[in-house]
Amino acid sequence: MSAPLSPPVRRALLSVSDKSGLVDFARALVEAGVELFSTGGTRKHLEEAGLAVRDVASYTGFPEMMDGRVKTLHPKVHGGLLCRHDNPEDMAAVATHEIATFELVVVNLYPFEKTVADPNVAVDDAIEQIDIGGPSMVRSAAKNHAFVTIATSAQQYGRIVEQIQESGATTPELRRELAAAAFARTAEYDAAIAGYFAKVLDQQAEEAKGHAPRLAVTLTRKAPLRYGENPHQSAAVYALPHAEPHALVNAEQLHGKELSYNNLLDLDSALAIARSLPEPGVAVLKHNNPCGAATAATVAEAAAKAWEGDPLSAFGSVLGVNVEVDEAMAELLAEPGKFVEAIVAPGFSPAAIDVLTTKPKWRDNVRLLRVGAIEPGRAAIQLRAIDGGYLAQNADDLPDEPAKWEIVTEAQPDERLTADLQFAWAVCRHVKSNAIVLVNNGALAGAGAGQMSRVDSVEIAIRKAGDRAAGSVLASDAFFPFDDSIHAAAAAGVKAIIQPGGSRRDEEVIAACNKHGLPMIFTGRRHFRH
């Protein structure tokens, strides 16, 4: 005769790293007549709370060993997890070998992801946080979910207890749901381990200019988005395990509508530029390119200068700010004729929030995101989908090294020009190639982005800058293949140039600068962005 579809929960096996809510859960199980089995720290935790717990080692007759590496890897444990209650041969084996059946398993895993979130963790320390027995029990219980309930998160305890208190068992539907969550958790856990070792191998291979042969990435959906790049595309944002608290994916949305895919793309670029600017600094982004960026004595002044970079394009933009947004900046943005879709900043003063969330047109639309700190994220692998696969590269986030830059012309930049050249170079790396930016007095005056011809980008930047081109400096994300861009810049009143160098015609370009009396710096590092 077959066993009941939902066997009564008589025994529970508990082994957890995160003990949140465990005592209350276990006490409710005991009150429902469930016998508890446990190991090591979990057993001690429950016994200290006054609960009777049977030691797994005494049950198996085999002690824990090797500093706790071997605790539950035993046939009397996994036999009790995998036996089919409606299979006579399985139940005969249970009786012959004196195996206890477990109808409930409660396991969460060693905190491997949290451990490797520390960039300084030693490989040996990371290895010790790889759980072996836990995933084995989870998989055994999940495989046999027709008869076993598997809990892998404290958030699941409530529903399990409710059903046991009501009927002494759990429903098949709940067991299958929990089994699916359990398999997802072990897959996520294994992907995190594989991803960590891929990163270790990648760091080793970097010396040989290679990348790891396999790349595993585990992501958790953070939120659905309004839509993708276009309204007919669905989208969501996913988070890496243990992303830094100040990462954009963890930003706190203080106000505004649901974010879209494009909002987050622009906010990511705005935040990246803001991080690279002197404080206080403001970046204005439209279609993932800066149309304004500035630094000044106050954040309100920086915002005003940044907006003037391209007032027409700035309407409906997103802003990245590297200090708290204050009331003066908020009042400036809320002036007639101005509007932004979103602002990301370390924080917002209460007065600024009041201004931005009560003004007509702003109150129903603007999104305010607080990241809490402006710190560079850790170097990451960038992935980009192509037909049938992905491209992977190290992020272009190495800090600039002005001490290694070379002035290659007869003319030398003065202090003011040098400051603007450094500012221009910081902004230029965030502009789509071919990228040209003009900077004047600590503010973006004009940008030429995404052109197939570099001289076209130069001419667009000059046109955007208008009168502000005179006295500005020019940055180019890659070398000049010809000297035509130099002549165009000089004619517009540009006073200095910064670029990577490396063209076969560098000497012609240098000669053109010398002809016009322009200082030019070679940085030695290209910043293509596609």
- Give the active site residues: 143, 287
The helix/strand/coil state of 13 is strand
Give the tokens for residue 41: 């720290």
Contacts 24+ apart (CB under 8 A), 64-73: 64/39, 64/40, 68/40, 69/132, 70/133, 71/15, 71/39, 71/40, 71/133, 72/13, 72/15, 72/39, 72/133, 72/136, 72/137, 73/132, 73/133, 73/136
Q: How far apart are CA 34 and CA 28, in angstroms?
A: 9
Peptide bond connecting 108 to the previous residue in cis, omega within 30 degrees of 0: no
Q: Count CB neighbours of 102 within 10 A.
A: 29
User: Residues 434, 460: contact at Cβ < 8 Å?
Assistant: no
The answer to whether the CB of 437 falls within 8 A of the CB of 428 is: yes
CA distance 349 to 40: 49
Answer yes or no: are the C-beta atoms of 308 and 445 closer than 8 Å: no
Three-class HEC string of 371-423? CCCCCCCCCCEEEEEECCEEEEEECCCCCCCHHHCEECCCCCCCHHHHHHHHH
- Count CB neighbours of 409 within 10 A: 22
Q: CA nearest 37: which of 3, 7, 65, 9?
A: 9
The 3-class SS string of 216-255 reads CCCCEEEEECCCCCCCCCCCEEEECCCCCCCCHHHCEEEE
CB 277 within 8 A of CB 283: yes
Write out the two tokens for 359: 């003004």
CA torsion through residues 508, 511, 513, 519, sign: positive
Cα gap 527→486, rounded to integer Å:
19
Residue of 405, 326, 339, 369 lying closest to 223 (CA atoms) = 369
Which residues, at least 6 apart from 170, have a Cβ–Cβ distance to it below 8 Å? 6, 9, 104, 149, 160, 163, 164
* Spatial separation of the C-alpha atoms in residues 110 and 119, rounded to whole Å: 18
Dihedral in degrees, nearest 10, Cα atoms 208, 211, 213, 216: 150
Tokens describing residue 506: 């560098």
Q: Are 359 and 340 in contact (CB under 8 A)?
A: no
Whole-angstrom Cα distance, residue 99 to residue 91?
Answer: 9
Verify cis geometry, omega within 30 degrees of 0, for the bond prior to 280. Answer: yes
Strand partners, 106: 14, 151
